[in-house]
Chains A and B, each alone.
Chain A
Amino acid sequence: DTEVTQTPKHLVMGMTNKKSLKCEQHMGHRAMYWYKQKAKKPPELMFVYSYEKLSINESVPSRFSPECPNSSLLNLHLHALQPEDSALYLCASSQISQVNYGYTFGSGTRLTVV
């Protein structure tokens, strides 16, 4: 299995809703990432998990709450989002020493906040 699977593919949520994005990989990768991508822009790093521990938080607002329950799963919990948070949310994974191997990205969750 060489894929990163993200669910759901599309999500529409109101500003008072609570929802979660899910990401799963079975490649034995011990680093996992959340990126946010706006239309026609490059992905922007949000969070990095190494060995299931949060190692980097790029000053992301607390309405985004990541969780890594085990080495294969990564969640992003969403609460009280704003319309400007609408974007494609990408999950990725890599070997810990990823410099030589690159990342594997999922297809993303297209989030619309109304």
Chain B
Amino acid sequence: TQLLEQSPQFLSIQEGENLTVYCNSSSVFSSLQWYRQEPGEGPVLLVTVVTGGEVKKLKRLTFQFGDARKDSSLHITAAQPGDTGLYLCAGAWNQGGKLIFGQGTELSVKP
């Protein structure tokens, strides 16, 4: 059972364009985490959002946690080729230590 639906799965854009990646679930999470992964490497944590309605900014990246803590979005402004990679959302619960990943969004930014 896939608990986290991430969309789109593939995205190819030109440098300078904006984009949004969505992560949706029917489950309520204690937190939503976003990771970026490059080929042959492990995922690297970008941000953790914990409070419903929370918005966090990391340079050109804006992360939002839905009010009901079931969904999240990642918006990138003026994408650059260095943003290319696999973006993964992941949901966590307070107990058990489990972190469940969405299917991932493969982003390609062309110069």
Contact = CB atoms under 8 A, between A and B. Distances in A.
Do A and B interact?
yes
Contacts of A110: 40
Interface string B28-47: 00110101000011111100
B45 to A, nearest CB: 4
B111 interface: no
B93 A99 contact: yes
A103 B103 CA distance: 18
Interface string B80-111: 00000000100011101111111110100000
Interface residues of A, number: 32
A101 B43 contact: no
A43 B41 CA distance: 12
Nearest to A102: B45
B61 interface: no
B48 interface: yes
Contact of B100 (A31, A45, A50): A45
Contact of B99 (A97, A98, A107): A98
A55 B48 contact: no
B98 A43 contact: no
Give the most central of B41, B97, B100, B106: most A CB within 10 Å.
B97
B42 A107 contact: yes
Interface in A91-114: 92, 94, 96-108, 110
Contact of B48 (A43, A45, A100): A100
Given A40-B106, A107-B40, 17 more contacts: A41-B103, A42-B101, A42-B102, A42-B103, A43-B43, A45-B98, A45-B99, A48-B98, A90-B42, A90-B43, A98-B97, A99-B50, A99-B94, A102-B48, A103-B99, A104-B45, A105-B43
Interface of A: 4, 6, 31, 33, 40-45, 48, 50, 55-56, 88, 90, 92, 94, 96-108, 110
